[in-house]
Amino acid sequence: MLRHLGFCVLLLICNCISLPAQETPVTIRHAAPPAASATAEELETAGDRLQIAESHLDAVDYYRAALAKKPGNARVYNKLGVAELRIQHYTEARKHFQKAIKIEHTFASALNNLGSVYYSQRKYNSAIKQYRKAIQLEPAVASFHANLGAAYFAKKEFESAGTSYARALELDPEVLERHARSGIPNQLPHSVDLARYAYVMAKLYAKTGAIDLSLEYLQRAMTEGYKEMYEVLKDADFAVLRKDPRFIDLITLQPSAFIEQPH
């Protein structure tokens, strides 16, 4: 969980995680218009506060006002793009992330966020390209690897997705749970993909010893109708899980799900 407000701000305005396409953007303003007398720094800070309060449309106004007073600030262009991404203004978000990258060529977070625009538009090859660029610049950022895994998964490149997710977990054991809460599974087009996603997550968590989460995702995989649950009984990554009494209870609930069907 995100325990500190400072880290929350950093995650929100720097390492944006892709948003579900189905989410309805907020289009109502709540804050007063930016004051003409405010400095660029004051406007940027106010925009940050509005982002935290999820008043993204207001944040857009304040970041734009800050840039009008002090153009050429790559960090503010990145924050503006994140706010626009949150309200699904994809064209504007893409332009502003690209502007940030043009100003600061090694801006890894802006590259990652540009990938998130493409991901939200289901342009997965373009998303992968940007995520990989971000990772080359900052290989130790877990959310970059998680985003890359999500894009690979959406393309049904499950082995590459698993590798990226595993690296993300090595860097931050909680990053995939934040990813799941952000709506990544909602991007998957078919229930069979959601079932496989749940199974892959269960496998990753079992391998890292997070048994509670592994069991939770196995249950989800069963509920979604994953057809190859029998693999749990022989896959080495599930060895520790198979020793847990709760796993036996899971099999008891639906034993037929763990029987390999003839092809």
CB atoms within 10 A of CB 150: 31
Question: Residue written as tokens 């290989």?
Answer: 139
Q: Model pTM? A: 0.79
Predicted pLDDT of residue 182: 58
Residue 23: per-residue pLDDT:
47
Q: What Å distances lie between residue 258 and 45, 138, 213, 224, 252, CA to CA? A: 54, 41, 19, 14, 10
* 26 φ/ψ angles, rounded to the nearest 5 degrees: -85, 125
Q: How many residues does the chain have?
A: 263
Task: Please give the Cα distance from 133 to 147 (Å, whole number).
Answer: 12
- Judged on CB neighbours under 10 Å (0-12, 13-18, 19+), 71 is exposed
Tell me if 28 sits within 8 A of 50, measured CB to CB. Answer: no
| CA dist list (Å): 16 to 85, 112, 134, 147, 246 | 9, 7, 12, 9, 36
Which distant-in-sequence residues (6+ apart) come within 8 Å of 72 by Cβ?
103
* Contact by Cβ (8 Å): 128, 152: yes
Please give the chain's pLDDT, 263 residues, in tens.
Answer: 333 333 233 333 444 544 434 445 556 777 788 999 999 999 999 999 999 998 999 999 999 999 999 999 999 999 999 999 999 999 999 999 999 999 999 999 999 999 999 999 999 999 999 999 999 999 999 999 999 999 998 898 988 998 999 999 999 988 887 766 655 554 555 555 788 888 998 999 998 899 999 999 999 998 888 889 999 999 999 999 999 999 988 888 888 888 877 65
Read off φ and ψ for residue 182, nearest 5 degrees: -75, -10
CA dist., res. 227 & res. 109, Å (int): 38
